[in-house]
Structure 1
Amino acid sequence: MKVRDISLIALFVTLTVVGSQISIPIGTVPITLQVLMIFLTGYFLKPFQALLTQIIYLLLGIVGLPVFAGFSGGIVHLFGPTGGYLLAFPIAALIVAFSKKDYFSMFLYGIFGLLVIYLLGFSVLAYHLKSFSKAFMVGVLPFIGIDFVKMILAVIISKRVLRVVEV
């Protein structure tokens, strides 16, 4: 791996950490900019780099560094109500990174990435809440529109930046 690759991975790990701290608590699952950063990671980096970026982010949180939402950390977060969302981040970033970098492909792969985040997040949340309907109401429904906008923003940002900067 080249220094440039390591630098890009470090940059996107940092952006994910910063995005997780910009948080609006609305209940069990807060609104953060993590999903935006997941999309940017995938759209800017190669698949392995995108996957590695989000794995490093999770590992930093697992060892206790306060990188998760609300300046929190620890392995307990992977086993808590929002653990499924966290575990979905590397998979979603990997999926998004396979897009061909045209608008349609980025949009399509972004939808698949969102589906992974929602499926894993919803599943773990439903287990903790012992209710599929409640998990949907607090962990999916309030975020669909917001996350869709984040995906569109990530596509626009990525396309504009990639026109002038080769990543």
Structure 2
Amino acid sequence: MNKLGELLYNKSEYMETASGNKVSCQSELCGSQNIVLSGKTIVINDCIIRGDLANLRVGRHCVEKSRSVIRPPFKKFSKGIAFFPLHIGDHVFIEEDCVVNAAQIGSYVHVGKNCVIGHQCVLKDCCKILDNTVLPPETGVPPFTEFFNIPTSSMETDNYKPNIL
């Protein structure tokens, strides 16, 4: 994976917890009692984390960048919808303008800019989702894989291309 540069920030715009988490005052954490940030995690401005739907556990040394939405996965039943917990591993980097609705994200995962991770997706350890990728619901991304697709107006073509690193 490529090197990620330094992230500079204004300390007055962030709250820092005892475990070293840095959360922007402009971000929105819904249901904060259900959100666990394990330490040294950075949530940059205009991020939305939906803990009001189900529990979210985020590992250590993670970064969620601007305008990303992280919400737990759901499943439709005949009587309604049920939400399930979302587990995000350590050293996960989620770029700007992403919507993450995965069931599980492993450690050392990089999600590129402007990605949509469909509900119930499982991203295993050490994988990379390239910019502008849309993962359909219930997709599994194996370890050590670079995954990308070219979103089209017609979903009839199968244009999802995994690359083994």
Query: Could you state the TM-score of these two structures normalised by the residue count of structure 1?
Result: 0.22
- Relative to its length, the structure with more strand (as a share) is 2
Larger relative contact order (C-alpha < 8 A, sep ≥ 6)?
1
Structure in which a larger fraction of residues adopt helix: 1
